[in-house]
Chain A
């Protein structure tokens, strides 16, 4: 397992075996773990943890905004599943969706999100749809490893 840690918040998760942790993709707002290029996949699966300051914005309002903005920003967006689950030890949620990338690829996106101590944490897994079934259990395990040191438990 490879640990991906976001320096700014101290949040971390265990990426999949052999995946590469990148700190230069989303800047200070998060951390990325990506499937190695030498696996030969046409689309490289990834896990992206984004941390944002929410202040007084409630969890519900924050996610209502996400539900409204995702279909507007992602082509062919299709919400497939949504549920309330514990994320990083805090009440949170999970959504599963499909969309088309700018390159016309069919990808499946799975997100786990929670709000803790005024911060919003979103872990997004993206994989080409054909391989989602192959990755789903491992991605779920990665989400289960999400640790939020600053969160009240």
Chain B
């Protein structure tokens, strides 16, 4: 795992077939990243792309993930400019995403589930103005909020989840507007764990059948 900038990562992806010594020298830790070649190939030719924005008071982190035939490549945001490059086998995608959003047990029932949400608050939660983000978090009673956007070969999906002390709620849009639906961690895990099925199910089976020993030490999640 290594700290890297977007520009450094993009250079690596461009040069993936013959990485220049100068590019590698800028991030020397990368030389020891197992599965780097597969990771760069996944970013160059992804079967599935995921962008996760995690809004918290004072900070929004935007993580990017690419899933290819041999690897899932995570560019996990440490702050606005610094990233951590992580590589796993594709079948660990759900686990990696769950760690990025901090999925875990929540106590209590989601008070307010079924309430409506001002659609503009979703824009504010993930917008560029920190004051509006923090105000929207406070207004919705959320300690954090995540927006997950998935772009696969056979479709797209997006979901906004509020992480509140009393449980998770998902913003669900319908003709009447946007309402909040209570979601258990198990419900959310069922979605995250099966995201690979967003690519063709037959191919997804192939991806899950990759021999993990072909990527040394990469199947350790995040």
Contact = CB atoms under 8 A, between A and B. Distances in A.
B105 A132 contact: no
A129 interface: yes
A106 to B, nearest CB: 5
Contacts of B95: 76, 78, 98, 106, 129
Please report whether the interface of chain A is mostly helix, strand, loop or mixed according to DSSP: strand
Nearest to A110: B186
A129 B209 CA distance: 12
Given A81-B184, A83-B105, A132-B194, A98 B91 contact: no
Please report whether the interface of chain B is mostly helix, strand, loop or mixed according to DSSP: helix
B194 A100 contact: no
Nearest to A98: B95
Contact of B209 (A42, A79, A80): A42
A78 B193 contact: no
B220 interface: yes
Given A81-B189, A98-B95, A133-B197, 16 more contacts: A42-B208, A76-B220, A81-B184, A83-B105, A98-B189, A98-B221, A100-B92, A100-B221, A106-B95, A108-B193, A129-B194, A130-B91, A132-B189, A132-B194, A136-B186, A136-B190
Interface of A: 42, 75-76, 78-83, 96, 98, 100, 103-106, 108, 128-134, 136
16 contacts: A76-B221, A80-B98, A80-B105, A81-B104, A82-B105, A83-B105, A98-B98, A106-B95, A108-B189, A129-B94, A129-B193, A130-B94, A131-B194, A132-B194, A133-B191, A136-B186
